[in-house]
Amino acid sequence: MTTNQKLYGKDLSAYDDVDVDTLLSQLSPEEINILAKEVDPDDNLLPPSQRCSYACDKDPTGPLNRKKLIEHINKQALETPDKPELKPYVPGTIRGKKWIPPPPSAKEAEAEEQITIDLGDEYEHALSAATQEEIIDLAAILGFHSMMNQDQYHASLLSKGQPIGLGWDGITKASQPKPYPADPPNMTDPDTTIKQVQDDDHTLIDLNWNNIKNISEEKFTQLFEALPSNTHLETLSLTNTAMTDTTALKLAEALEHNNTLRVVNVETNFISPAVIVRLIKSLLTTKSIEEFRASNQRSQVLGNKIEMEITGLVEQNPTLLRLGLHLEYNDARHRIAMHLQRNIDRIRKDLTLRLQFRFFNNLRRKALIK
């Protein structure tokens, strides 16, 4: 059941059967022009000359010259005199009505009174008797960085005493940054460490290839093929080594057969989001990795689908405690953070129970010996 359309209170259902083309054929050209001027079609495909109701009947005086048109407009603007002011300007006098802000309402005044914090007599007396240096130290502890400069802040943290001449009346400005030497290059020899991993060297617990350039794919392959048989390596750092998807897939296969690795870091490489999902999925096989980092890849944005896949895989992992990834969506961040916190709480409870069990066993042994 449909309602009849109405225009200005009139029922238009009587005109449903009228042929519009027949009506238009009965109009004269003058009447069609008048009707066209009254209608502005909302169609961006039509040129402005056909959409605008204004039509100029004058003949063109010549071709359009943009430069001459702008010069003519500027000349007209310079030759047109300014309109004289009805009231001349006098410095210091108020012209017109001056705006005066209205007084605050009773609710606003009451809200401002409620904001006032009562610290109690003890704290009020301590703050009133505190020196300027103690107030600055308190501001540094509370994290009020904008109330002091860098020298005051670091002096408060290091308990070195405030610099002379810098108080609340001084200018809060940034000090000249101290130059720090660049980090030395990574002198780790890839061939030597590969040999140690292959030989299952017990002294090699932390393998750091960070920032080593020109590592060939063959060396990556040799390292990852030796990982399944290694039983001592716990930390593997491969940051900024130009690792690609091909080598990352071999790393995923190696992680599925290694039970001793605890930390894996592959940040700042050229790994695609799909391969990152494959790496996180490989952590579910042995469930020994506690920290995995793979942020700052070539593709900064993972996408909703990839983040949801990563979230589902992380929620299935009972041993992962830290995950280094930039996630764009709040749902994925919240779910992963909650799951990692549950893993940390469960491990802490297990450790507490083990310590308690060991403590009572020791007490029992001492009692039996006596």
Domains detected in the chain: 17-50 (no CATH), 131-167 (no CATH), 190-354 (3.80.10.10)
* SS3 assignment for the chain: CCCCCEECCEECHHHCCCCHHHHHHCCCHHHHHHHHHHCCCCCCCCCHHHHCCCCCCCCCCCCCCHHHHHHHHHHHHHHCCCCCCCCCCCCCCCCCCCCCCCCCCHHHHHHHHHHCCCCHHHHHHHHHCCCHHHHHHHHHHHCCHHHCCHHHHHHHHHCCCCCCCCCCCCCCCCCCCCCCCCCCCCCCCHHHHHHHHHCCCCCCCEEECCCCCCCCHHHHHHHHHHCCCCCCCCEEECCCCCCCHHHHHHHHHHHCCCCCCCEEECCCCCCCHHHHHHHHHHHHHHCCCCEEECCCCCCCCCCHHHHHHHHHHHHCCCCCCEEECCCCCHHHHHHHHHHHHHHHHHHHHHHHHHHHHHHHHHHHHHHHHC
What is the model's pLDDT at position 143?
Answer: 65
Strand partners, 235: 206, 263
Name, of 35-44, 153-162, 244-253, the range with top average pLDDT.
244-253
Q: Which of 17-31, 259-273, 306-320, 352-366 has the lowest mean pLDDT?
A: 352-366
pLDDT in tens, 308-338: 999 999 999 999 999 999 998 899 999 999 9
What is the model's pLDDT at position 276?
Answer: 94
Inter-residue contact 301 to 329 (CB < 8 Å): no
Which residue, chain included where needed, has tokens 């069609």? 32
| Mean pLDDT to the nearest integer, 116-127 | 66
User: Is 47 or 250 the better-scoring residue by pLDDT?
Assistant: 250
What is the model's pLDDT at position 115?
Answer: 54
What is the model's pLDDT at position 76?
Answer: 93
For residue 75, pLDDT beyond 90? yes
What is the model's pLDDT at position 263?
Answer: 95
pLDDT in tens, 96-113: 788 888 888 887 777 666
Q: Which of 180-184, 265-269, 295-299 has the lowest mean pLDDT?
A: 180-184
| Mean pLDDT to the nearest integer, 244-252 | 93
pLDDT in tens, 172-229: 566 677 777 887 889 999 999 999 999 999 999 999 999 998 899 999 999 999 999 9
The total of other beta-carbon atoms located within 10 Å of residue 265's CB is 19
What is the model's pLDDT at position 164?
Answer: 57
Phi, psi of 153 (to 5 degrees): -65, -50
Residue of 259, 318, 262, 261 lying closest to 290 (CA atoms): 262
For residue 66, pLDDT beyond 80? yes
Q: What is the mean pLDDT of the chain?
A: 81
Parallel, antiparallel or unpaired: strands 10-11 and 6-7:
antiparallel
Inter-residue contact 198 to 226 (CB < 8 Å): yes
What is the model's pLDDT at position 144?
Answer: 63
Evaluate the CA torsion angle 8, 11, 16, 17 in order and state its sign: negative
Tell me the C-alpha distance between 330 and 5, whole Å.
47
| Mean pLDDT to the nearest integer, 13-34 | 81
Structure tokens at 360: 């009572």
For residue 6, pLDDT beyond 60? no
What is the model's pLDDT at position 217?
Answer: 92
How confident is residue 10, by pLDDT bands cut at 50, 70 and 90?
low
What is the model's pLDDT at position 74?
Answer: 93
For residue 4, pLDDT beyond 60? no
User: Is 362 or 254 the better-scoring residue by pLDDT?
Assistant: 254
